[in-house]
Structure formats: C-alpha cells, structure tokens
Structure 1
Amino acid sequence: MARPGQRRTGARRPAPRNPQRGRNRGDVIALLAGTAREIETAAQRGRVTPAVRTKFHAVFLLLRDERARLRTAANSTEQLKRLDGIAQILATTAVRDTGLMELLAEDAVVSDATRSLKREMLQTVGIETAPEEAPPPPPTPTTPERRVVPQSVVTRQLANPFLAPDFDAYAQRPAVRSRRLTSWELINPLLNSFERAGSGDAACMALPAPWELRRTSGKELMPHQARMVAAAADGHRTFLLADEPGLGKTAQALLAAEAANAYPLLVVVPNVVKINWAREANLWTPHRPATVVQGDGDTVDGFADIVVINYEVLDRHVGWLGNFGFRGMVVDEAHFIKNKSSQRSQHVLEIADRIRSRNPGPLLMALTGTPLINDIDDFRAIWQFLGWIDDSKPLGALMAALEDTGLTPADPGFYAAARQCVIDMGIVRRRKVDVAADIPGRRVADLPVELDGSAGRSIRAAEKELVRRMVEQYQRASSSDAVDDELVRRIARAELKDTAKQTGENVFSMMRRIGQAKSGLAADYAVQLARSAGKVVFFAKHVDVMDAASALFEKQGVQFASIRGDQTPRTRQKNIDAFVNDPSVSIAVCSLTAAGVGLNLQVASNIVLAELSWTDAEQTQAIDRSHRIGQTEPVTAWRIIAAQTIDARIAELIDSKAGLAARALDGSDEEVVPSADVQLEALVALLTDALA
C-alpha cells in the first residue's frame, strides 16, 4: 500500500472533471440572488435601462435552467426554495415595467447581449458552457382566415400591366461591410445614447432652407414645416417626424410625399382620424386623389394616389397592400406600434419590408408627437419600420455611419456620436416654443372638489380598506419601528400584481369609482365654462362617465357632440364637424383614448379633464387637440381632482413623471423616469403615510 501522498504504480488516473457535473450550484444561486437584488434596486430608482433589461432576462433564463435541473435532483428542496425567492424578486420587479414583464413570456426573443451575459455569469462561478446556437428565424406570419382584395385594386392591376416592379437595381445594391463593430451588440448602446442625452442637446437632423410650393394649394406652410419638406425634396427618404403635437405633421407628410413623388402613398392611421386624413390630402394636394379603406374595401378607388387605412383592418388587407406598388408609407401616431408582439405592429413592419423589397428608395415616415411613453425601448419598432435596424443590429446607412465614427461602445465618445448618427438618419423634433411662438400658451389648472354624500363616503372607506390591507401585510413582515422603504415597495408591487385576483377594491377600480363620483361636478363645470367662455372639450376615460356627463348636458339644455371609440368613422367625423362648425354645439364629450390623438379642435380653448390618465403623454396628447397651429387663445386644461383621495396623489405623480421625451429628444436635464410607475408610486405613498 502506498504511503499518503504517494501515487500507486499502475493506479487508474481520475477522470477529467466535468464542469457541468462538478459546478457549485450554491455559487450559481448566490450569483442569481445578488444580481436580482441589483435589478430590483435599479427598478426602484426608476432606472430600468436596456442594460438592466438584458441583465433581468439573463437572470430569468439561468433561473429557469437551474429550476429545471433541480427538480430532477435529490436533496434539492432548500435550493428550490432559494430559487423561488429569487423568482419572487423578479416577478415583483417586472410589475414596475411592461418591458420586463414581456421578458417573462416563454416566446420572448433572447438577444445576443442576453446570451453573452448569461455565459459570462456562468463563467464567473467557474462554469464553462458551449456557445449557444443562434435562435431560428421567427416563423412567417400565417395568413389569416379572411384576406380580401378589393375589386377596384384588381381592375387597376389588370389595367396597367407595367406596375410590376423591376427588382434588379435593388437586388444588386452591395451590402454595407461592417468592420470594427461586427462583434459588438449595438442596439442597446444606441438606445442608451438617448437615455444619456441632456444639457440642451436637442434631437433634430440638419434641415435645409424652406421648400417653396410648386403648386398652389390655397394653404401656406409655416417655415418649420417647409424645412422638413425641403429635406424630402433633397432626397432624404426616412423620417421620424416627432414634432410636438399641434405643429402640423399631417401637412408635412403629405407635401414630403409630393416633393419626393412617393406615389402611390400608403397612410396608416388610427380609426378616429381616417376621414380627416383624406380631407387634409384634399386641402394640401388636391390634384392627388385619395381613397379611404373601410371594412373589406368595397368602396376603395384602386387608381387613387393616396390610400388611407386604419390599424384595425390592416390584417385583412396586408396581402394586396404589400403588392400594390407603393413608393411611400406614412404611419401616423407611430407610438401605436411600439409593442412589436402586437398584430398592428407586425402588420406595419411586414408591409414596410415588402415595400422596401420592391423599391430601392421608398419614402417612409413615422409621425408621433409622443414617441416615448413608458421607455426608451419604445423607439425599437419605429426604427425597425424605418429600416434603420432589425431585431438585433443596425442596418445599411446607420451601420455605415457608426463605422465611420471610428468608435466602439467601449470608447467614451461613442454614445454622443451614436446618438447623432441615429438623429441624422431622419429624426425631426421641434417644440412649439421654438418654431410657433405665435401659438398662445397653455396651462394645466387643478380644481379640487369634495366628494360628498354616500359616493364620497364609500370611496374614502374603500381607500381606508386598501391601506389597511397593505398595513397588515407590512406589519406581518416587519417588527421594526422604522419604515422599511424596500418592504413598502415590495408590498405595493404585490398589491398591483394581485389586482386581478382581488375581490375587494384596488387602485384601478377605485380610480374608476372616483371618476364616476366626479362626473356630475366635472360636467357642471363644463357647462359653466361653455356659457361664459365658449366651446369646451370634455375628456373622460370611461363610457359611464361620458354617459353621466351627457345626461347632465341634456338635462340643462346644452347641445353637445360625442366623440367615442365605438362610432363609425363617418358618425365620428359628423360629430367633430358639428362641434367645430356649429355655433350652437358648445361641448365635445370625448374619449381620452379614442379622441386623444389626431383631432383638430382649435375652436375650443378650454378643456375639462374629468378623469386622470396614467401617463403625462396621454394627458398632453389630449390637451394638444386644442393647443395647436390655428389656436388664437391661451389654452387652459382644467383637471377635476377629488380632494383627500388617491386621485390627488395620481395628479401629483403624473406631473412628476413627465420628462422622458423631454430628456431624450429635447435636450432637457430632467431625469428619465418611466411613466408606468404611477400606480405603484401611488400605493407606496399611501402605505408610507399610513405607517408614518
């Protein structure tokens, strides 16, 4: 027998250690726990950046892998409990941000950055893994059961056999050869470059001198509009036209198409403004016939130069739209496509890809005064529509511009240079205060009201019950006299997460009840304004609030027009025209979601916000229906606030959460804070006050 430390002659050598079998699972779980805490802290501070989302997704994927392995392993109960605790942290953190919530889905796209970080995390604890294969390309969208081709479109195709495009020039264009940046993940750094903006660095490409109309349309462009049209005349072909609401983006888009000769032109819009787009086309380009797609398209003019269609019916028309031979495409209220998993986004991106494949230089324009609502990530789908990026990397001219900087994301000057590269691709952003100083000012004035009677008592009782429920949860989890801010937030997030399971009151049902209780007071104030100051726009979120206001207007003999989401386009336009043109119609009762975009209601300078939005962007969109080019009076938005209720806290939080677009696009120094946190912050404030 050999002495200790002495190898036996002829003894079998130990087998090479398998890193997958010998790895320290405790180290992996500890790494996941620590990283999850870092993510949670970042989310609490409102800094859910693309880098944080990448880290969140990597931790989630590793957590899922570990859980799957441990379920088949012996003596793993304690480790599974630790994984459950980490999963709880991820779930409650995801409640704060819709972008994080989407990453928890089974079919969530795993980015190259996430795969790389996942491997690095495993290597940190001594685990080597084989490189992951690239995911298969997403499946081609299946054809829905019902697709239509309007008869007039068939007639047009038969009448002009030369419409078939020539693909040769497009197919032979050389691809951009990337060099320095080939191995870098660039989409997140590009998004980060806008998060780091500020200090007066506004986002607007260099624009040429104003363009002069070559045809008389009877209307005159303002200088800022004419400069944007001049860029299209000079050959620029992709634009994110992000001027503040009310600066005439519709006219700019129509005349940019005229300058670029981008006909036939496809215009995709919200249903509420479909008829108005056709009218604007008749005003600005009367020599270009426009047609509106309704339903199955039975009334479509297949020989029109401008085809206007709403998002909701794109699915049944995708087939012929992609083959129609469009040389230009405009997407109005482009923030509607920010969710790339939605059907509307997928259809828009599909049509844009097919237009690009058939035309080497189409005019593509995304129009939105509020491109950023909750997160910098809202840019992704818009940039992809414009052809600047795909799912994983910059494309064509943008990649070439990034290469020309000579920088990589590791270099200090990369982010400023990268942001300018994106801006030069075609971001056009102007503020009213800079280009339309003749538009009178606007202000938001809060009108606190007391909720009396049984409704007021019931709402206050419900709010007390909500607070009591959260306080009990806090007291069960903590014995300290000092308020634990982290625990407060955890309970508030759990309250939001469990909303769907609760049978009692929650923050959403309470806000709806408050809106119902305020409806009579808000409507009465609108009547007083109409009788003393002229036309008034009355905004509400819920149908029952609009119904209650309408009933009061009828009772008091006040004529009004109703603009809602469930109306046909012609009925809605008829009501809009009645409010704008009929002096006897003094109030427009509008849905905050259906009428908050694309309408021109400059005839009114007073707005009543009977219910609060969850975001500053939605509130701003509604106010800017009146505060826009053509307004001659100062605009006042009167917010009706239920005093001494959660309604007042929501109003304060909406004001404090403004600033995402201001920082990313306007060069403001305001901190970027996702607006989606309003519900959470309201609950945090309620619980903190109760504990104090």
Structure 2
Amino acid sequence: MHPLPEFKIEIIQIEDDKIFLKTNYSWAICLNAEYGGKPQSYYLAKSLLNFRKLKKFFPDYAFPVGEWQIKKTNFQLRPYQEKDVNFLSPQKSVGIFNEMRTGKTPIALTIFQRWKAPNLIIICPSILQAQWQEAIENWLNQPAYLLSYLSLTERQIIYQKFCQEKNWIIIISKDIFKIDSKYFRGLRKKKKPIFCSLIDEAHYLRNYQSQQSKSLYTLKDSEYKMVLTGTPLVNHSSDIFGILKFLQPEIYTSYWKFAEEFFLVRETEIPKASRTFKIKRVLGFKNEKMKQELQQRLNQISVARKQKEVLPWLPLIEQQEIKLLMEKNQQLLYSRWTQKWDKNYPLEFLAKLKTLTLFPPALIHKRKDKRDFLTEEDRKLLKDCQGSKISYLVDFCQANSQQGLLIFSTRTETFLEPLAQALQKTKLKVALLTGKISHQQRIEFISAFQQQKIKILLCNIQSAGLGLNLSRADIAIFADRSYSPADNEQAEARFLPTKESENPKTRLIIDLVCKGTIDEKILNLLKRKKDITKIITANPEYLL
C-alpha cells in the first residue's frame, strides 16, 4: 500500500486492466475514477493517460513496467473549426461565440495546444465540469483534475503545484473559484507562472460589478485567455463590456467610458429629500458607424458562427447525452444509500434513487415507512440540496430563452413543479402539461406554445406523450425517462413536423444523466429498447 500523506488517495493494487484505489468521492471525481462497488473503493483503467494522472501525486511510486494501454483519439476538426483555430491561435486573448452545437470545446482545446501554454485552468458552471474533464481526456489525451469537491487545503496544495510545475490542467466551478481567487492571485504574484485561463459560459461577466465577475477578473493578467459562450449579448449590446474587460483590460477600463463611446446615454436627475441623484441609462448605438466599429473590434479577437451557416448537413434529429455531477450532498447520500440495497424491494429502491438524482428535497416530504432510508442527518443534507438537474435546466433555459423548449420527466410533483418554481423565479414564462390540468388548460397551453407566446413547456411523459402537436419546439430535454421505451418514443415524436410545409429544421434531443448513477444504466438499457421494469424484476441486483 502506498498512501499519499497530503491527500486521501491510496493505490491498492494494479491488475491487468485496472488500477484500484482507496479514496473518497471527492478524489474519485477529481481523478475521474469509477466506483468499485464498496465504500472508498474506486478504480481507473490501466492506461498511459491514467499513469500520467497518478504520477503527479505519486512521483516515487514504482509503477509496474509493461504495456500501458494507449488511448486512441480519432477526433478531427471540421473545416470551419480549423479556420477558427487558424485565425484565433496567433492571438493571446480570444473569444469563441459560436452558437450551441457548433463545437466550441474542440476549437478551444486545439487553440490551447497551439499556444503550447504549460498549464490550463478552466472555470465553468459546476454542472459542466464533468463534460470538460471528459472532453480534455478524450480530445487531448491529457489528465484533467476536477478540484471543486476537494477541501480548501487540498485545493490550495494543487494550486501550488499548478504554479510550480508543468502539464497541469485543472477544472473548477465558478462558485468555488470565487472562494479561491484571492489565494490563487496571491500565489501567482509570488511564483509568476505562465498559463492559460479559460472561462466557459462567459456571459455571466455581463454583470461586471458582481463578486463572481470580480473573482474572474483576477485572471485578466493571464498570459493566455479564452472565453466561450453562445450568447455573449443577453439583454443589450453593452453586455459585451464584461467580456472585453477580461480579454483586453488595458483598453476597456471603465464601463461608462465604453458606453459613452458607442451608445446614447441618457442622464436623469431624481430628487430625493434634500439630495438629487443622477441616474444614467444606456440606449441604442449612437449611429450605424459606431455599431460597425464595435463589431469590427470584436471580429478582430473572436469568432461568432451561426449553426445554420456551418452545419447545413445536420440530421433532422440530433441526440445528445449530457453528464452532470451531482451536488456534494446529493452524492454523499447516493453513495450511502447504495449500501442499503434491499433486493426484496428493487423497484421501490430504484424509485428512491431516481428521486435523489432528480429533486432530492422531495424525499423529505415522503411518508415514512418501514424501509425509509432517511436519517436525521440525511434530512439536514437534503434541506438545501436543489439537485444538479434543476440547476442545469435553469441555466440552460436562461441561455436559450428564445428557443422552443420541451422538458420531459416522469415526475410531476417531485420534479416538474419544483422546476417550474425555479424557472419562474428567473422571470421565465413556463407552462405545465401534466395530468393535473384541465382539458381546456391543456388546449390553451399547447396553442400558446405553438404560437410562441410560451417558450418553455414542462411535460409529464405519460400525459404529453400521445396525440399532441408540439412541432414548434427546437429542443426536447429528458430529465429522466419512462421505464417503457414505447412511452419515450411517443414523447420524442411530439415535436417532429406533422406537415410537409413546416420548417424541416434540426431538432435536438438531450438526455440529462447524473454521472456514476442509475441514470447511466437506465439510459443504456432504453437505447437497446429494453423494458426496465421487467429486467429489474427478473434480476433485482442488476443496477448495482
């Protein structure tokens, strides 16, 4: 056994195809390790990639001499992606503003390769961390470490290694980086490392005065910088200032100086008590010349391709699987509950784990029974745990508010209704299509959606799976699937064109999957058109 004193990792055994580790969930996520079926038991494939990954933490460990599997990467840039890379890579501060599904990630990673920067730090929404980790390991065949679940002390030690050593790629959520940014900035001042900073979903920088943005601006002096977002402008053209302040801080120092250069600014005086307050409001561009000037400046440092321009060959239906990391409390409970498996009640056990991946607080309100898994400690953990799927969907709906969105689930009270409340808090207009609504409401909601008066429709798979025309939708998202393949196929058919005259636009179907959970096995079975209920009844231990 070779424990690592600073961290909670221990290499237990290396076999023909696996490296077995004893560690906790936080480190398993950091290393992208798979669950081994027992508490603190995880493993990695015996590959050259994982050898390099562990060598960072175990430099003196005597890894066995022999064949280490080399992961083959067959990825290739599309012609327009190659053009974007060739245009952007000679610069050191760039923006990738291409629309969704045009492949911003491979463009960004290839630019990073061209830059030959020693290290890379990626700051992104927490729900996208796992996708970045897999993309880096698949596309670049390089280790990527996800820090957000580690303790503050553990993160700080890795930051130190990042600033002192080469070939580190670290991924961290924007919320955790807000905590770490001052420490990381102080460390960099001492060590002066050269690295690349990449900010994903950078439209958050439009609120340039927020604490979140200020933490990201501590990286604006990085040697190399990249920002990615398909929606750089959310409400007003002046929103771009927050991104420009990050990419070119020496030019864009003041928001009002920027606004007054390009836009009409109206100043209003408001008397209050004995004082008068002046309030400025930014209107439209001063003139067409200033609009073109700003666009020209952006064109010099960024690309912004439209999907319809570069992907005319896309099929009418495109499938996408998005893997999400569960929130920390979610995962703690999930790991704990898998140890309480009761083979006599497999479907009931499956239902509770499914609720945990969808909307954990729903378990608190369930009626207690003899097989209730919840302890008082569990209830405390669940209290403030919204769940990664609702967090992802709120962000996704805000970023894609102009598209017709269908969100499907088998759960009404324990997912769709809480999701509706979370979306309404962000001022998004939604409607619920479930078995609870009247026939008249059903007709009104469908009509409003088809006329694009409502952009987001939350649908129960069973209630909205038959006899409906929702062809105005651009994207259908499945938070979970019915155990019956036929129900899912009926739901997917709801947003296909029903008339030859309707626009044959590309439509996207997204499955949200919590990484390392029953979601993965359920979806794999459904892809093979298997009935989940029959399989679990016949083989109750299949899911574990």
What is the TM-score when the length of structure 2 is the normalising length?
0.42
Greater strand fraction, Structure 1 or Structure 2: 2
Higher relative contact order (CA 8 A, sep 6+): 1
Greater helix fraction, Structure 1 or Structure 2: 1
What is the TM-score when the length of structure 1 is the normalising length?
0.34
